Amino acid sequence: MTTSGGQETGRIETFSDGVFAIAITLLIIEIGVPHVEEAGSLSGKLVELWPSYLGYAMSFVVIGTVWANHHNRFRLISRSDHILLFLNVLFLMCVAFLPFPTALLAEYIREEEHRITAVAVYSGTLAVTAVFFTLLWLYAATNYRLVDRSIDPSLLRAMTRRYVLGMLLYALAFALAFVSPVASLALIVILALLFVLPEPEGQRGTRRRSLRG
Amino acid sequence: MTTSGGQETGRIETFSDGVFAIAITLLIIEIGVPHVEEAGSLSGKLVELWPSYLGYAMSFVVIGTVWANHHNRFRLISRSDHILLFLNVLFLMCVAFLPFPTALLAEYIREEEHRITAVAVYSGTLAVTAVFFTLLWLYAATNYRLVDRSIDPSLLRAMTRRYVLGMLLYALAFALAFVSPVASLALIVILALLFVLPEPEGQRGTRRRSLRG
Amino acid sequence: MTTSGGQETGRIETFSDGVFAIAITLLIIEIGVPHVEEAGSLSGKLVELWPSYLGYAMSFVVIGTVWANHHNRFRLISRSDHILLFLNVLFLMCVAFLPFPTALLAEYIREEEHRITAVAVYSGTLAVTAVFFTLLWLYAATNYRLVDRSIDPSLLRAMTRRYVLGMLLYALAFALAFVSPVASLALIVILALLFVLPEPEGQRGTRRRSLRG
Amino acid sequence: MTTSGGQETGRIETFSDGVFAIAITLLIIEIGVPHVEEAGSLSGKLVELWPSYLGYAMSFVVIGTVWANHHNRFRLISRSDHILLFLNVLFLMCVAFLPFPTALLAEYIREEEHRITAVAVYSGTLAVTAVFFTLLWLYAATNYRLVDRSIDPSLLRAMTRRYVLGMLLYALAFALAFVSPVASLALIVILALLFVLPEPEGQRGTRRRSLRG
């Protein structure tokens, strides 16, 4: 842990990891055991719960991806201060909020008159999360405020472009919700899966191609 | 980890971090998905939940701030004993209790006849939390019992003043609840936001200006 | 971490700490926000919840104490194997079960016909927890199987006496539940508070007076 | 932590440990406090809850065992990349899902017409979990992609055989559910208890007998 001129970031990461791990695991308690009436079939009831499984899987992958991004980012951020701590708390507040829009999505995705609202709340929460993540990064990276000084400036710029782009794409997912809820959700899934591609920061201190070229 | 003459503090911090992370993330499960009746609007129902969002955001920031204070304090506390462990358990008992008064606040803030009770329970819980935090600090810092001996005595005194003052201000928030619940909550938010200001202990072993000058 | 001839214990401790932290923090979700009927008083309803607060505080202190004991024990246990892992899982299974008897206690302590059952389940769970803790210790300590070989044998014997005694006292609390539920609970509180006294193992490798002299 | 040519695995393990610890501890909140009607007996009601205790104990031991396997595996995996992170998220998604089939099992095991469905969902979830665990291992171990290069190739092969076999046995448990739900659950318990036997990887870099000889 580098601590030159600031606090170390180890315990922020531990605390954030805890919040991520709990938020991701709490998703399951939103899925209640179905009650079967007389002469009903349990398997039928379980199949009807598909929006809950979908919401669970989607939010699990999204939170997992956001965790991995946060984790990778803090490998570049080597110092901490009160503002960073505070921005991180606001960011975690959005992450920990996700079980609520996930449950909302599972409850209302099948009802046409409420689908837009549910998807907009879901994608809107992700867009706000992306805003705080970008703010946190911009605060840390501007003028090498809290990042390791040995990092190539072009890498920092590539990261910034990546996060600003991500933020705009989540904002697009939010806007799409009002036109086509399904397209909005599809975009969110694609954004999460894009994470499987390697990040530009794979090697510290070397100029590399960013995700966007 | 310094262990001279006592137990190390690492696992207390890990355990406390776990409790903080869980308490802060559990806040969301108090917000239930609204049920829309025939011809009702989901967005209307979601807007009606504003006290829940407010309670969530307020308690999230408060717990985040308390966590950061606890974290910073244990950077000065380098040894541990049974009494410290016990005081820390009592302190965590207050922190982990917060989801309950938060849910109470969200449920009753709009009902005039119950508002004072809800806000008093909320601010009272914070006041008791502050009392235990101050006791924990006083126990550790008095005669350098468990803090690092290289720390400037004026820094310890500045910390003590800070916590006693914080305790009094939370007690004031509790008293204010009976006069003006809104003022009580405003004071709590201000106290949390004050945390963004740097703490006096930024540099170990150097005399620095305390928050109160 | 000592790993001579076995696996290191670090990740067992981390995992166990996680389970302790979650079990202790989950206690609060068993306390539901009361619903006030027309013309009722919220403060009256909150006062009626006293068994819930009592159960919360008691289980919080008990789990906190058990955590501290577990923590102290793993400072002597320096190696691990499959049997220890398994005994530890069974021990954690009892710890994580505690929110259930706690909720049971809070629900039924005021109803005379159910009080004995509720207290017996509560104290019985603690007794079984103590059995597994003692088994875990006996397995690790017998013939220095998994403990640090530099520890004085008299210290190991003192620890064993302490845990066997604790187990018997929790068994007594269970038996007492059928005679006097209140005496049973009082004994449990006393046992938890005894923890504030220093343990014999304060200094490694030195013969010291055990709790029982 | 070895980081040659990849990311370190420490934070993956911490995050995974968090998810395991939370999933295992959340099992208890699926057991609700029973409500006793007039003239009813609390102890009778508590005895009726036996499927809940059984499900709790079974899932606790299963998750504990899976955790220990995951833990042991990451002692061989010394590097990480985006694909491993993603496979690990999918694997954790199955682990964190377990409280749901556990609650399902507890609710429906006594109803003959729903028993097969409940047991099939439970064993099916475990089979899918085993598939992802095996994929994760195959990805890491093939051509020493992410495992420590000093490990004996026969040990890697023994591990692979072990996981493929485990996967097939969980698939068998799933198939058995449709023939005899009780046999399916018995097989699951046996598979978990087998873990108490030492793993082939006990000593790194030495050729040892695998579980299957």
pLDDT, tens digit (0-9, with 9 covering 90-100), for B23-42: 999 999 889 899 988 778 89
Q: Residue B208 has what pLDDT?
A: 38
Nearest neighbour of B118 by CB, restricted to C42, C57, C68? C42
Q: Which residues pair with C80 in a beta bridge?
A: C7
| Residue contact D99–A28, C-beta within 8 A | yes
Q: Per the CB < 8 Å rule, is D19 touching A14? A: no
From the CA of B28, how many Å to the nearest CA of chain A? 6
Tell me which chain B residue has its CA closest to the CA of residue C70: B11
pLDDT value of position C75: 86
The pLDDT tens digits of the residues spanning A117-140 come to: 999 999 999 999 999 999 999 999
Q: Which chain C residues are within 8 Å of D60, Cβ to Cβ?
A: 89, 92-93, 96
pLDDT tier for residue B172 given thresholds of 50, 70 and 90? very high
CA dist A22 and A14 (Å) reads: 12
Measure the N-to-C terminal CA separation of chain A; round to a whole number of Å. 31
Average pLDDT over every residue of C109-126: 94
3-class DSSP state of A152: coil
Q: Which of C22, C83, C100 sits opposite D31 (nearest CB)?
A: C100
Rounded to whole angstroms, the Cα distance separating D117 from D54 reads 17
- List Cβ neighbours of C28 (8 Å cut-off, separation of 6 or more): B23, B26, B96, B97, B99, B100, C56
Give me the amino acid identity at D101.
P
3-class DSSP state for residue D112?
helix
- Interchain pair A33, D103: CB under 8 A: yes
Q: Which of C23, C89, C100 sits opposite D64 (nearest CB)?
A: C89
pLDDT confidence band for B184 (50 / 70 / 90): very high
Mean pLDDT of chain B: 86
B29 touching C (Cβ < 8 Å): yes
Q: Which residue in D102, D111, D117, D128 has the most chain A C-beta atoms within 10 A of its own C-beta, making it the best mutation to test that interface?
A: D117
Q: Is B133 on the interface with A (CB under 8 A)?
A: no
Q: Is the pLDDT of residue A168 over 50?
A: yes
How far is residue C74's CA from residue C11's CA, in Å, rounded to a whole number?
A: 11
Question: Is residue A70 helix, strand or coil?
Answer: helix
Please determine, for residue B50, whether its predicted confidence score (pLDDT) is greater than 60: yes
Q: How many CA atoms lie within 13 A of A191 on its CB side?
A: 27
Residue A203, pLDDT above cutoff 60? no
| Facing A96 at nearest CB: one of B20, B28, B42 | B28
CA angle at C54 for the pair C51 and C60, rounded to the nearest 5°: 135
Pairwise CB contact (< 8 Å): A18 & D18: yes
User: Is residue D28 within 8 angstroms of chain C, CB to CB?
Assistant: yes
CA distance A139 to D73: 38
Task: Count Cβ atoms within 10 A of the Cβ of residue B4 and give its class: 0-12 exposed, 13-18 middle, 19 or more buried.
Answer: exposed
Contact yes or no for C9/C79 (Cβ under 8 A): yes
Look at residue C112 and give its three-state secondary structure: helix
D99 touches chain A (CB under 8 A): yes
Q: Tell whether B27 is within 8 A of chain A (Cβ).
A: yes
CB contact, 8 Å: D17 with chain C? Answer: yes
CA A59 – CA A185 distance, rounded (Å): 11
pLDDT of residue B209: 38
**C-beta separation of A62 from D129 below 8 A:** no
Q: Does the distance separating the beta carbons of B117 and C43 come in below 8 Å? A: yes
* Rounded Cα–Cα distance for residues A170 and A164 (Å): 10
For residue D29, give the amino acid letter. I
Name chain C's partners: 3 or more CB pairs within 8 A.
Answer: B, D
How many residues comprise chain B? Answer: 213
Residue B25 and residue B5: Cα distance in Å, rounded?
36
- CA contacts within 13 A on the Cβ side of A118: 25
Contact A22 D26 (CB under 8 A): no
Residue C200 pLDDT = 57
Asked whether the predicted pLDDT for residue B169 surpasses 90, the reply is yes
How high is the pLDDT of residue B38? Answer: 74
> Would an 8 Å CB–CB cutoff place A42 in contact with chain D?
yes
Higher pLDDT, A32 or C212: A32
Residue B6: pLDDT band by 50, 70, 90 thresholds? very low
Please tell me the pTM assigned to this model. Answer: 0.88
* Interface residue D185 vs chain A (CB under 8 A): no
Q: Does A81 touch chain B (CB under 8 A)?
A: yes
Q: What is the pLDDT of residue A200?
A: 56
What's the rounded Cα separation, in Å, for the pair C186 and C37?
35
What's the average model confidence in pLDDT over A75-101? Answer: 92
Cα dist from D166 to A14, B80, D101, D120, D162, whole Å:
33, 45, 20, 17, 6
- 3-class secondary structure for D142-165? HHHCCECCCCCHHHHHHHHHHHHH
Helices (H), D74-152: 82-97, 99-108, 112-141
Distance of alpha carbon A96 from alpha carbon D172, whole angstroms: 38
List the structure tokens of C166.
Answer: 């604790």
Tally Cβ neighbours within 10 Å of residue B169. 18
DSSP string, C5-66: TSB-SHHHHHHHHHHHHHHHHHGGGGSPPP---TT--HHHHHHHTHHHHHHHHHHHHHHHHH
C-alpha to C-alpha distance for A48 and A34, rounded to whole angstroms: 9
Confidence of residue A8 (pLDDT cuts 50, 70, 90): confident
- The minimal CB distance from C89 to the residues D13, D18, D61 is found for D61
With CB atoms and an 8 Å threshold, state whether A17 touches D11.
yes
Sequence-ordered alpha helix ranges (H) in chain A: 10-26, 42-48, 50-73, 82-97, 99-108, 112-141, 153-179, 181-193
Contacts of A10 in chain D (CB under 8 A): none
A149 to chain B, any CB pair closer than 8 A? The answer is: no
Contact at CB, C26 and D28, closer than 8 angstroms: yes
Q: Please give the helix or strand (H or E) that residue D179 lies within, else none.
A: helix D153-179
CB contact under 8 A, A25 and D26: yes
The whole-angstrom separation of Cα B213 and Cα A210 is 47
Nearest chain A residue to D16 by CA distance is A21
Could you say which of D21, D56, D197 has the minimum Cβ distance to residue C15?
A: D21
Dihedral Cα D137, D142, D148, D153, nearest 10 deg? 110
For D23, which residue in chain C has the nearest alpha carbon? C19
Helix (H) or strand (E) holding B160: helix B153-179
Backbone angles phi, psi at C7, to 5 degrees: -85, 155
H or E stretch covering C90? helix C82-97
Percent of chain A with pLDDT over 90: 62
Q: Does the distance separating the beta carbons of C22 and D21 come in below 8 Å? A: yes
Residue carrying the six token digits 């956001």: A66
What kind and span of H or E run contains A187? helix A181-193
> What is the spatial distance between Cα C36 and Cα B210, in angstroms, rounded to a whole number?
46
DSSP three-state, residue A147: strand
CB-nearest partner of C25 from B19, B82, B104: B19
Cβ neighbours of C19 in D, within 8 Å: 21, 24-25
Task: Work out the average pLDDT over B45-64.
Answer: 94
3-class secondary-structure state, position B77: strand
**What's the whole-number mean pLDDT along residues B174-197?**
91
Mean pLDDT of A153-166: 92
> What is the amino acid identity at position B176?
L
Cβ C124 vs Cβ C118: under 8 Å: no
Contacts of D68 in chain C (CB under 8 A): 82, 85, 89
Whether B95 and B66 have beta carbons less than 8 Å apart is answered as: yes
* Residue D203 structure tokens: 């000593």
Q: Is A13 on the interface with D (CB under 8 A)?
A: yes
Interface test with D, best of C89, C91, C178 (most D CBs within 10 A): C89
Q: How many CB atoms lie within 10 A of CB A83?
A: 16
Query: Lowest mean pLDDT: which of A187-201, B156-170, D150-164?
Result: A187-201
Higher pLDDT, D44 or C210: D44
Q: Hey, is the C-beta of A23 within 8 angstroms of any chain D C-beta?
A: no
Among B26, B43, B196, beta carbon nearest to A82 = B196
Q: To the nearest 10°, report the CA torsion of B32, B38, B40, B41.
A: 70
Confidence of residue B114 (pLDDT cuts 50, 70, 90): very high
Q: Is residue B196 very low, low, confident or very high in pLDDT (cuts 50, 70, 90)?
A: low
Residues 6 or more apart from A115 whose CB is under 8 A from it?
A: A108, A109, A181
Q: What are phi and psi of D79, to 5 degrees?
A: -130, 170
Please name the residue that has the structure tokens 């600090």.
B137
β partners of residue B7? B80
Residue C86, pLDDT above cutoff 80: yes
Q: Tell me what pLDDT residue B199 has.
A: 62
Q: Which element (helix H / strand E) includes A114?
A: helix A112-141
User: What's residue B40's pLDDT?
Assistant: 82
Number of other residues whose CB lies within 10 A of the CB of residue C174: 23
Residue, of D10 and A143, whose pLDDT is higher: A143
List CB contacts (< 8 A) between C18 and chain D.
17-18, 20-22, 25
CA distances from residue C183 to C128, C131, C176, D123 in whole angstroms, order as listed: 19, 21, 7, 45
The Cα–Cα gap between A103 and A115 comes to 13
Angle (deg, nearest 10), helices B181-193 and B50-73: 40
Alpha carbons B164 and B168: distance in angstroms, whole number: 6
Check if the beta carbon of residue D79 is closer than 8 Å to that of residue D144.
no
Band (D184; pLDDT cuts 50, 70, 90): very high
Confidence of residue A211 (pLDDT cuts 50, 70, 90): very low
Check residue D143 and give left, alpha or beta (phi > 0: left; psi -120 to 50: alpha): left
Q: Between A and B, how many residue pairs show a Cβ–Cβ distance under 8 A?
A: 86
CB-CB neighbors (< 8 A) of D7 in chain A: 72, 75
Place of tokens 């709340």: A121
**Res. D76: pLDDT tops 60:** yes
pLDDT of residue C185: 96
Q: Is B122 exposed, middle or buried (0-12, 13-18, 19+ CB in 10 A)?
A: buried
| DSSP label of C196 | G
ipTM associated with this complex? 0.86
Q: What is the mean pLDDT of chain C?
A: 86
For residue C179, give how far its alpha carbon lies from the nearest alpha carbon of chain B (Å).
31
| B174 in contact with A, Cβ within 8 Å | no
Q: Which class for D143: exposed (0-12), middle (13-18), buried (19 or more C-beta within 10 A)?
A: exposed
Q: Which is nearest to D27 in space by CA: A25, A58, B28, A46? A: A25
**Residue C91, token pair as written in the block:** 């021990």
Distance from the A16 Cα atom to the nearest Cα atom in chain B, whole angstroms: 8
pLDDT at D7: 56
Any D CB within 8 A of A27 CB: yes
CA dist B119 and C200 (Å) reads 45
Per CB-CB distance under 8 Å, the chain C contacts of D71 are 11, 15
Neighbours of C38 (CB within 10 A): 4
Residue-wise pLDDT for C151-196, tens only, equals 899 999 999 999 999 999 999 999 999 999 999 999 999 998 887 6
Min mean pLDDT across A21-35, D69-83, D117-131, D173-187 is at: D69-83
